[in-house]
């Protein structure tokens, strides 16, 4: 076989291989360990060689493959970006953060940007331009304030139509867009940010998602899920380990199952569907911490020097009741006044409320005395405390920091921080009114701590694992929801079967 | 290596392959065989399996629907012009159709098996609704099969005075084929738009709905219950809770997108059939050894491309009609299609359609090179190239950049639209340039038709001035309407302005064609068409057009199916399988690429079989002739 023929065959093989590798998304083909050449480049090289060396038939095949590849390549050039939002970990007291997430919903899942523009210079879209809608919303319908108008526009868009525009906006809380209440709240905050004042406080939805027709339309998994398979999922993924359901045998609380998972007491689900809609059930599985049933939240709180770890039984404005379990399994209830909860040092003043802090003690940089108050609201830059009867806003950056250092002699020294960290040569603190300089080589690295404030903390979490979105397939989830929807407290015979009967004449 | 050892080697290799195949499919048989909602397809998954089988079936289906249409048209032309070249070409393609026909049926069977295996509940639901149409489908299929046999095997027998009957068989074959396509379109279009327009809803459903309303609200009377019912969604076809179908079979068949898809596919098949014929001719042209063969296949390529162009020109209008019906059925679905989730798919579509029109025009201009006297039209070519390139560029401009932009980019742009180029992304701009592209292509064809001919009628100058004036008026009117479209409400643009743009373009083509036919009726020829003197490049363009057509069909299959998002039947039956997500555009196009390769490999094989048989026949005839000659001696 001549050298020319070998080159031709090698080039042909390379073209086919590089085409398959490109389509299959294989990683780049190395020509040297430090030099990688993508399959698309190999493909192009072999195409050129084949067109030069081969005669008509192979040349034609090469051309055909190159055209097919070209379209795949062009489509691969389209960048894909995610407009996924994270509303559950969002700091809802920060209006700007809420509006930012709302903008993502507006341009992403909500598909609002497909019709609405937020730019007066842009060509008119299918729906009104929303520049300054935060202000203009208050002028649309007499007697209706901006937020009320925006809420109505989201839920019942046909109630009021801007002159010149048709009835084309869908009800975004219904299929196929299916915006949740949180997503709608975020979009409204974004719309308010267009010239208006953002008010991210929750509102009551003017619709009833539990309405059977609405629920079925918005949550069609019910239409196809199999309750019997869902029951199997309920047992297989160990829901039954903690949640009791009439008619299914469950292990006793306190036992440890094969997966080393301790059985804890969780709400009885025998009648869960009688009082809750599907969206609540779905949210409870995917985001167990979003709403915690009273008496079932896990809490760790430190008061009067003792740490209490257990279940939050009740809570009011003055006290909490925590149920703990001793080593021998005995349960005890402790009533703890909120004022008795110990102050904890706080290093970073971010997301205080999300982290469970409800009081704060800080020293403003221009004041000598510290201030203590109940946290009312916060943003990235500020925190508002209720001090006495008045609300006072403090900058999070303009507070005095305290630093604790421990010398190698074992002396613990606390003072107002002036400058320096353990990365520097020296640290300067004001201790008892006088400035003291510490050589960092003389300090214990592990004993150094910076404190920007102190605060009382009460964080309630759900003891339910958060990995269900990972371990459940869509079909499992649908079946599980179908099963849960049958738990109305009625007898097992009431489980609906998918009907195959002909429609009544 | 001896012959026996080779055999053994093949045997071992075969056993290894069978072993691996069994290993691959064994898990599927080990599954729970009780009533399941979904069953996974081994190795590649259910969606990929159904996708590949459905798209291949559809492409072959288009082939065996499009090529007979092409054949009947060509046969008719041959009959009327008494030019036997047309007749032979039509017969050649019908022979090729026979192989493709069985492949289509085979792929259809594979598709049905995959669907029943992987999606039993969906198929149960669909067959529960469409059962009677499936029986009708089988009857039509028998009709088509036996008509094809008669049409193909009776070709030589039914020449001369029986030609009319043979043509009737050809038309009947196309009627069967089209009816089959209409029936299967009803199933898939129902999945996309399971609702019937109020005006054509069955009396049975209206009556049952009235009874439901009267039972639910005692204050209503039979006289008042229908008051204000104008919208299709007010009388749903399904129970809102259970998804149970409550209409008649005709209500399901006659859904919003059924007829637009029927017509779109019908015309698309003509274009597809023409382009495949042209690609086949291009291949034969490139490998032809003699001048006669080159001339024959040059002519065949031209004819195929001409039929493809005739189908291609109205396709954008029909696509617009289909899109409009999708918007009418569900506005959100329409917006998803053109302005949101699938907007970039339509940019890729614009790239492909741009390639089709540029390619078709290039072929025509290239063809004018082999006509003596066509040089007079060369001066218009640069302007036409500019018009098409600019128009394609505008057509490719995305409407919204929200899917590919970061929050900061969106903020910098002041929204999801580009501050300047965003104008070209609007439908009014796109509709305008589509009309311009179509008219430019029409003009290319007009010049091609006129090449080498000199009109002899006395009013030729007036005729040319009239044609020029009509063209200028129409183009200006289309552009002005397009500009006005930027500042009027969408409803007015969609329902009034755009149809007028289309009507102006169609009217121009109709009027100019009529004038031109009369003007060149007794034209003298200034030069001949030198068949066979086309460039090789132009033949590659024909192949490019065929591949682009096929890729476009694959891409549109993804769009039509993807529009349903996570629904088997939109709004009625949700997809809860592991594939309940829309694949990325790049993934979809990669899948289309795999299907393209498989399709062209199979078509190539069928063509090769046809050529092989033809070659054997020719060799046999040559030997017989030689023997006969020796016998005479």
pLDDT digits (tens, 9 = 90+) for A215-234: 333 333 344 567 788 888 88
Output the pLDDT for position A390: 79
Output the pLDDT for position B593: 92
* Residue B25 clears pLDDT 70, i.e. is over it: no
* Residue A32 clears pLDDT 80, i.e. is over it: no
Tokens at B285, concatenated? 């042209």
Strand, coil or helix: A271: coil
Q: How far is A272 from chain B (nearest CA, A)?
A: 20
Output the pLDDT for position A74: 86
* Mean pLDDT across B349-354: 89
**Residue B578 near chain A (CB below 8 Å):** yes
**Other CB atoms within 10 A of residue B442 CB:** 18
Say how many CB pairs under 8 Å bridge A and B. 199
pLDDT band, very low/low/confident/very high, at B221 (cuts 50, 70, 90) = confident
With an 8 Å Cβ cutoff, are A475 and B577 in contact? Answer: yes
Output the pLDDT for position A413: 84
Angle at A471 between CA A466 and CA A475, to 5 degrees: 120
A92-96, B433-437, B614-618: which has the minimum mean pLDDT? B614-618
Q: Which residues contact B481 (CB under 8 A, 6 or more apart)?
A: B432, B497, B500, B501, B504
Q: Which residues contact B44 (CB under 8 A, 6 or more apart)?
A: B52
- Greater model confidence, B416 or B329: B329
Phi-psi region of A371 (alpha: psi -120 to 50; beta: other; left: phi over 0): beta
Element (H, E) at A483: helix A474-485
Angle between helices B46-81 and B585-632 (to 10 degrees): 40
Output the pLDDT for position A458: 82
* Mean pLDDT across A138-162: 84
Best of A15, A17, A67 to mutate (most B CBs within 10 Å, chain B): A67
* Residue B174 clears pLDDT 90, i.e. is over it: yes
With an 8 Å Cβ cutoff, are B586 and A117 in contact? Answer: no
Distance CA A436, CA A397 (A): 23
Candidate from A76, A103, A165 with C-beta closest to B407: A103
Output the pLDDT for position A490: 54
**Other CB atoms within 10 A of residue A204 CB:** 7
Output the pLDDT for position B21: 57
The residues with which A256 forms a beta bridge, in sequence order, are: A262
Q: How far is A241 from chain B (nearest CA, A)?
A: 26
**Residue B45 near chain A (CB below 8 Å):** no
* Residue A262 clears pLDDT 70, i.e. is over it: no
Distance CA B574, CA B569 (A): 7
From chain B, pick out residues whose CB is under 8 angstroms from the CB of A222. Answer: 241
Distance CA B100, CA B177 (A): 14
CB of A340 closer than 8 Å to CB of A303: yes
Output the pLDDT for position B508: 93
Q: Which residues contact B618 (CB under 8 A, 6 or more apart)?
A: none
Q: How far is A183 from chain B (nearest CA, A)?
A: 17
Give me the percent of chain B exceeding a pLDDT of 90. Answer: 32
Q: Which residues contact B626 (CB under 8 A, 6 or more apart)?
A: none
Q: What is the pLDDT of residues B224-240, one digit of tens each?
A: 777 767 666 677 888 77
With an 8 Å Cβ cutoff, are A76 and B592 in contact? Answer: no
User: Mean pLDDT score of chain A, rounded to an integer?
Assistant: 78
* Residue B2 clears pLDDT 50, i.e. is over it: no
Distance CA B548, CA B550 (A): 5
Best of B543, B590, B594, B602 to mutate (most A CBs within 10 Å, chain A): B590
CB contact residues (below 8 A), chain B span 484-523, against chain A? 486-487, 489-491
Q: For B213-223, give one letter per residue: b (16+ CB within 10 A) or e.
A: beeeeeeeeee
Compare all CA atoms of chain B with the CA of A85 and give the residue at the minimum distance.
B407
Q: How far is B204 from chain A (nearest CA, A)?
A: 8
Output the pLDDT for position B24: 52
With an 8 Å Cβ cutoff, are B415 and A67 in contact? Answer: no
Closest CA to B126 of B251, B41, B252, B250: B252
Output the pLDDT for position A220: 39
Output the pLDDT for position B443: 92
* Residue B365 clears pLDDT 50, i.e. is over it: yes
Output the pLDDT for position B173: 93
Residue carrying structure tokens 């630093």: A403
The verdict on domain A215-292+462-494 having CATH code 3.30.70.600 is: no
The residues with which B213 forms a beta bridge, in sequence order, are: none
* Mean pLDDT across A421-432: 83
Compare all CA atoms of chain A with the CA of B568 and give the residue at the minimum distance.
A224
Compare all CA atoms of chain A with the CA of B596 and give the residue at the minimum distance.
A68
For the whole model, what pTM was predicted? 0.67
Tokens at B100, concatenated? 């493709």
What are the sequence ranges of the domains in chain A?
A: 3-77, 95-207, 215-292+462-494, 297-340, 344-460
Output the pLDDT for position B491: 72
Q: Which residues contact B178 (CB under 8 A, 6 or more apart)?
A: B65, B266
Distance CA B216, CA A473 (A): 39
Angle at B77 between CA B71 and CA B83, to 5 degrees: 105
Distance CA B79, CA B73 (A): 10
Give me the percent of chain B exceeding a pLDDT of 70. Answer: 88
**Residue B243 near chain A (CB below 8 Å):** yes
Write the ipTM.
0.83
* Mean pLDDT across A70-88: 75
Distance CA B65, CA B175 (A): 10
* Mean pLDDT across A329-352: 83
The residues with which A35 forms a beta bridge, in sequence order, are: A32
CB of B153 closer than 8 Å to CB of B97: no
Tokens at A319, concatenated? 């006290």
* Mean pLDDT across A396-420: 82
Best of B48, B332, B573 to mutate (most A CBs within 10 Å, chain A): B332
Number of H helices, E strands in chain A: 14, 18
Compare all CA atoms of chain B with the CA of A113 and give the residue at the minimum distance.
B416
Best of B287, B399, B589 to mutate (most A CBs within 10 Å, chain A): B589
Burial, B141: exposed, middle or buried (Cβ in 10 Å; 0-12, 13-18, 19+)?
middle
The residues with which A404 forms a beta bridge, in sequence order, are: A414, A449
The number of residues in chain B equals 633
Strand, coil or helix: B529: strand
Tokens at A227, concatenated? 């309750």
pLDDT band, very low/low/confident/very high, at A139 (cuts 50, 70, 90) = confident
Sign of the CA dihedral with A495 first, then A496, A500, and A502 last: positive
Distance CA B572, CA B301 (A): 47
Give me the percent of chain A exceeding a pLDDT of 70. Answer: 82
* Residue B171 clears pLDDT 90, i.e. is over it: yes
- Greater model confidence, A478 or B516: B516
**Other CB atoms within 10 A of residue B11 CB:** 10
- Greater model confidence, A82 or B457: B457
* Residue B630 clears pLDDT 90, i.e. is over it: no
* Residue A174 clears pLDDT 90, i.e. is over it: no
With an 8 Å Cβ cutoff, are A166 and B491 in contact? Answer: yes
Enter the DSSP assignment of A222: H
Distance CA A473, CA A485 (A): 18
Strand, coil or helix: A384: strand
Enter the DSSP assignment of A370: -
* Residue B37 clears pLDDT 60, i.e. is over it: yes
Distance CA B322, CA B300 (A): 32
Output the pLDDT for position A212: 37
Q: What is the pLDDT of residues B441-453, one digit of tens each?
A: 999 999 998 888 8
Enter the DSSP assignment of A112: G
Strand, coil or helix: B227: coil
- Greater model confidence, A29 or A227: A227
Output the pLDDT for position B33: 47
Closest CA to B508 of B552, B539, B477, B534: B477
Q: Which fold has domain A95-207?
A: Cytochrome Bc1 Complex; Chain D, domain 2 (1.10.760)
Tokens at A142, concatenated? 């007499």
* Residue A496 clears pLDDT 50, i.e. is over it: no
* Mean pLDDT across A236-245: 80
CB of B601 closer than 8 Å to CB of B581: no
Q: For B24-57, give one letter per residue: b (16+ CB within 10 A) or e.
A: eeeeeeeeeeeebbbbbbbeeebbebbbbbbbbb
Q: Taking the C-alpha atoms of A449, A450, A456 and A457 in order, what is their torsion angle to the nearest 10 degrees? A: -70
Q: What is the pLDDT of residues B549-587, one digit of tens each?
A: 999 999 999 998 888 887 899 888 888 888 877 788 888
With an 8 Å Cβ cutoff, are B402 and A107 in contact? Answer: yes
Is there a common fold for A95-207 and A215-292+462-494?
yes
Strand, coil or helix: A376: strand
* Residue B180 clears pLDDT 90, i.e. is over it: yes
Largest pairwise CA distance in chain B: 104
Compare all CA atoms of chain A with the CA of B243 and give the residue at the minimum distance.
A223
From chain A, pick out residues whose CB is under 8 angstroms from the CB of B246. Answer: 503
Distance CA B603, CA B594 (A): 14
Q: What is the pLDDT of residues B102-148, one digit of tens each?
A: 889 899 999 999 999 899 888 988 998 998 999 999 999 999 989 99
């Amino acid at each position: 076989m001549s050298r020319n023929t070998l080159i031709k065959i090698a080039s042909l093989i390379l073209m086919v291989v590089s085409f398959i590798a490109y389509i299959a998304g294989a990683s780049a083909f190395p020509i040297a360990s430090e030099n990688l050449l993508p399959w698309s480049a190999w493909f192009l090289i072999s195409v050129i060689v084949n067109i030069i060396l081969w005669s008509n038939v192979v040349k034609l095949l090469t051309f055909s493959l190159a055209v097919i590849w070209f379209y795949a390549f062009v489509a691969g050039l389209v960048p894909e970006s995610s407009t996924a939002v994270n509303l559950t970990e969002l700091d809802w007291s920060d209006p700007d953060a809420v509006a930012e997430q709302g903008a993502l919903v507006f341009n992403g899942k909500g598909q609002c940007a497909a019709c609405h523009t937020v730019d007066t210079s842009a060509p008119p879209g299918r729906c009104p331009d929303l520049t300054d809608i935060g202000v203009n919303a208050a002028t649309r319908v007499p007697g209706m304030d901006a937020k009320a108008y925006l809420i109505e526009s989201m839920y019942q868009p046909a109630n009021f139509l801007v002159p010149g525009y048709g009835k084309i906006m869908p009800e975004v809380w219904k299929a196929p867009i299916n915006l949740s209440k949180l997503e709608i709240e975020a979009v409204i905050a974004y719309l308010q940010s267009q010239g208006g004042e953002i008010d991210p406080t929750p509102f009551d939805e003017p619709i009833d998602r539990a309405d059977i027709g609405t629920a079925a339309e918005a949550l069609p998994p019910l239409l196809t899920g199999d309750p019997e398979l869902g029951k199997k999922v309920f047992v297989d993924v160990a829901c039954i380990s903690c949640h009791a359901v009439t008619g299914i045998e469950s292990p006793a609380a306190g036992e440890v199952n094969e997966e080393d998972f301790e059985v804890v007491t969780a709400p009885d689900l025998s009648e869960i569907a009688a009082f809750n809609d599907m969206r609540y059930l779905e949210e409870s599985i995917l985001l167990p911490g979003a709403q915690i049933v009273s008496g079932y939240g896990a809490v760790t709180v430190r008061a009067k020097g003792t740490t209490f770890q257990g279940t939050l039984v009740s809570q009011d404005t003055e006290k909490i009741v925590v149920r703990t379990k001793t080593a021998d399994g005995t349960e005890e209830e402790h009533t703890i006044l909120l004022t008795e909860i110990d102050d904890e040092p706080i290093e970073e003043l971010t997301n205080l409320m999300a982290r469970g802090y409800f009081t704060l003690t800080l020293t403003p940089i221009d004041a000598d005395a510290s201030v203590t108050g109940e946290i009312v609201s916060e943003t990235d830059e500020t925190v508002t405390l209720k001090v006495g009867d008045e609300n006072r806003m403090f900058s999070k950056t303009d507070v005095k920091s305290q630093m604790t250092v421990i010398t190698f002699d074992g002396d613990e020294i606390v003072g107002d921080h002036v400058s320096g960290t353990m990365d520097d040569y020296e640290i300067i603190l004001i201790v008892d009114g006088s400035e003291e300089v510490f050589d960092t080589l003389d300090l214990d690295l592990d004993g150094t701590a910076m404190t920007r404030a102190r605060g009382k903390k009460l964080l309630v979490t759900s003891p339910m694992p958060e990995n269900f979105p990972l371990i459940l397939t869509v079909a499992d989830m649908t079946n599980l929801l179908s099963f849960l929807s049958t738990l109305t407290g009625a007898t097992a015979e009431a489980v609906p079967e998918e009907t195959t009967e002909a429609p009544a004449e | 290596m001896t012959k026996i050892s080779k055999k053994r080697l093949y045997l071992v290799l075969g056993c290894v392959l069978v072993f691996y195949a069994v290993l691959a499919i064994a898990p599927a048989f080990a599954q729970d065989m009780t009533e399941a909602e979904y069953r996974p397809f081994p190795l590649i998954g259910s969606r990929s399996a159904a996708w590949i089988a459905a798209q291949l079936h559809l492409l072959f289906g288009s082939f065996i629907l499009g090529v007979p249409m092409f054949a009947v048209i060509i046969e008719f032309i041959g009959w009327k012009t008494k030019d036997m070249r047309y007749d032979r070409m039509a017969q050649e393609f019908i022979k090729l159709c026979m192989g493709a026909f069985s492949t289509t049926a085979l792929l259809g069977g594979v598709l049905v098996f995959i669907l029943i295996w992987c999606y039993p509940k969906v198929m149960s639901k669909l067959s529960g609704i469409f059962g009677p149409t499936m029986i009708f489908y089988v009857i039509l299929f028998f009709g088509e099969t036996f008509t094809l046999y008669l049409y193909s095997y009776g070709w030589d027998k039914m020449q001369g005075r029986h030609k009319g009957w043979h043509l009737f068989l050809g038309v009947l074959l196309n009627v069967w084929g089209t009816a089959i396509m209409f029936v299967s379109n009803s199933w898939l279009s129902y999945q996309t738009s399971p609702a019937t327009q109020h005006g054509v809803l069955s009396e049975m459903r209206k009556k049952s709905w009235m009874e439901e309303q009267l039972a639910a609200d005692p204050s209503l009377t039979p006289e008042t219950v229908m008051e204000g019912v104008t919208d299709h969604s007010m009388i749903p076809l399904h129970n809102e809770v259970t998804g149970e179908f409550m209409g008649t079979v005709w209500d399901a068949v006659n859904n919003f997108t059924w007829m637009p898809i029927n017509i779109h596919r019908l015309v698309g098949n003509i274009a597809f059939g023409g382009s495949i014929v042209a690609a086949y001719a291009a291949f034969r042209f490139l490998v032809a050894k003699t001048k006669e063969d080159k001339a024959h296949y040059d002519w065949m390529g031209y004819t195929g491309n001409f039929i493809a162009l005739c189908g291609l020109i109205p396709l954008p209008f029909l696509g617009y009609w289909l899109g409009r019906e999708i918007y009418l059925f569900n506005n959100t679905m329409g917006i998803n299609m053109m302005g949101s989730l699938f907007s970039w798919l339509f940019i890729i579509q614009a790239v492909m359609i741009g390639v089709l029109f540029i390619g078709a025009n290039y072929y025509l201009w290239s063809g004018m090179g082999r006509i003596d006297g066509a040089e007079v039209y060369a001066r218009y070519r640069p302007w036409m190239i500019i018009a098409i390139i600019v128009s394609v560029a505008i057509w490719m401009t995305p409407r919204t950049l929200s899917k590919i932009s970061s929050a900061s980019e969106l903020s910098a742009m002041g929204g999801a639209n580009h501050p300047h180029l965003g104008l070209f992304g609007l439908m009014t701009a796109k509709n305008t340039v589509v009309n311009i592209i179509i008219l430019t292509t029409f003009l290319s064809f007009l010049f091609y038709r006129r090449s080498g001919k000199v009109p002899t009628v006395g009013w030729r100058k007036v005729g040319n001035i009239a044609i020029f004036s009509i063209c200028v008026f129409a183009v200006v009117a289309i552009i002005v309407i397009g500009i006005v479209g930027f500042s009027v409400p969408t409803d007015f643009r969609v329902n009034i302005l755009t149809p007028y743009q289309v009507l102006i373009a169609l009217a121009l083509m109709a009027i100019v064609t009529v004038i031109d036919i009369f003007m060149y009726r007794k034209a003298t020829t200034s030069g001949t068409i030198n068949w066979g003197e086309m460039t090789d490049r132009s033949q590659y363009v024909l192949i490019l057009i065929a591949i682009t057509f096929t890729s476009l069909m694959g891409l549109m299959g993804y769009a039509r199916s993807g529009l349903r998002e996570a629904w088997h039947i939109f709004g009625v039956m949700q997809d809860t399988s592991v594939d309940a997500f829309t694949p990325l555009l790049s993934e979809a196009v990669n899948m289309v690429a795999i299907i393209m390769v498989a399709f062209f490999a199979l078509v190539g094989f069928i063509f090769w079989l046809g050529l092989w048989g033809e070659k054997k026949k020719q060799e046999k005839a040559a030997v017989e002739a030689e023997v006969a000659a020796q016998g005479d001696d």
